[in-house]
Amino acid sequence: LAQIWAELLGVERVGRHDHFFELGGHSLLAVQVLSRALDLGLNFSAAYLFQAPVLKELASKIHLEPQPSSPGVISVRATGSQPPLFFVPTGLGDCSYVLKLVEEMDIDCPVYALPWPPFNNLCPPILEAIATETIVAIRKIQPQGPYRFAGYSSGGILAYALAQLLLGLDEAISFMALIDVTLPANVTKISPIQMVRDVVLDSFEPLDDESFEVLEQFAGQSSIAQLLEKGQQIGAIPLDRNLHNDVLMYERTARFHEALQAYQIPTLPIEIHQFYAAEALFSSRARQAESSLCPEARSPMRGWDRVLSRGAITAVPIGGDHVTMVSVLENRKALARAISTRLAGGS
């Protein structure tokens, strides 16, 4: 590790008590550290480098806590003559939207769905660390650019963070598709844990008003695990369902959104295609996250004109709301056509 650091940081000697970032390291070099270490059989998470940046501590982490196995990149379409298209997961860590969408796309390129890398041990969670780990997986598939990305909902901000790191590595970004990705001006209005509670409550919409009100009142004082258990007791979730994986998913979602809130979104020399939902998302119980009610959520630019020039943003309306633009077949076909056309260089 000391040798890798010395070569990448341009220093003659690295001591066991030296600090990666104090020596001049940054998130772009972290990508290269992780990549070179993996080539030498040192299997560790990018989160460890951010959490334990002192050489001795990092080496100890590698020895005592090998990286947990992570789900591999999903090959959605294996062949094509053009550079691959990489989809990032949604803000809930979900890649399932990619499979049906790609079925309707007319493109000549491989397509991959990128899972979230492990970031449970990163405290506080840092989007740059999540992006660093993801880039290592991407470069195993495509060692050099130009790179093409797409992302749906708040997960699309991860695609932008990937572009930031790759540009810093002198790579090119030739395509960036954001599917209804809002950039709120005030990201502190709602806490990540409250946002996840709202998502859980949304899943209880079919309940009668009295039962829903009980859960809504309980949600304000409860953890995610307690809210799910209460939902199970009240009949919103089958009694024989094991809630363990659900709890882990929602907890990771909260941590991811914590990382999003801390991310300082830079201005990048790229163009984006914003495929925005033409209809507003409406909840019958008026229980939407505050961020979805902000002015940015009603603008075709979705707030991205705060960090990019208007000329760098192509806004394309798609029928449906934030959910139905992907879930309803007619809307999904329109979205697939629109992405395919612009991926091919059309207008």
Within the chain, which residue ranges are assigned CATH 3.40.50.1820?
74-120+137-157+173-185+265-343
DSSP string for 228-278: HHHHHHTTSS-TT---HHHHHHHHHHHHHHHHHHH--PPP-S--EEEEEES
**pLDDT value of position 338:** 96
Instruction: Look at the domain 74-120+137-157+173-185+265-343 and name its fold.
Output: Rossmann fold (3.40.50)
The C-alpha angle 294, 206, 318, rounded to 5 degrees, equals 45
For the chain, list residues with pLDDT below 70. 27-28, 31, 35, 38-41, 43-47, 63-72, 120-123, 186-189, 282-295, 346-347
**pLDDT value of position 4:** 87
Do residues 139 and 165 touch, judged by C-beta distance below 8 A? no
Q: Which CATH class is domain 2-64?
A: mainly alpha
CA distance 328 to 320: 8
**pLDDT value of position 288:** 46
**pLDDT value of position 68:** 41
Written as six digits, the tokens of 302 are 């979705």
Amino acid residing at 200:
V
Do residues 133 and 34 touch, judged by C-beta distance below 8 A? yes
CA distance 116 to 73: 9
**pLDDT value of position 65:** 42
**pLDDT value of position 57:** 86
Amino acid residing at 219:
A
CA distance 112 to 95: 10
Please, is 309 exposed, middle or buried when counting C-beta atoms within 10 Å of its C-beta (0-12, 13-18, 19+)? exposed
Which letter does DSSP use for residue 147 in this model? E
**pLDDT value of position 47:** 65
Q: Which helix (H) or strand (E) holds 224?
A: helix 224-233
Beta bridge mates, 87:
113, 150
**pLDDT value of position 235:** 75
**pLDDT value of position 32:** 74
Within the chain, which residue ranges are assigned CATH 1.10.1200.10?
2-64
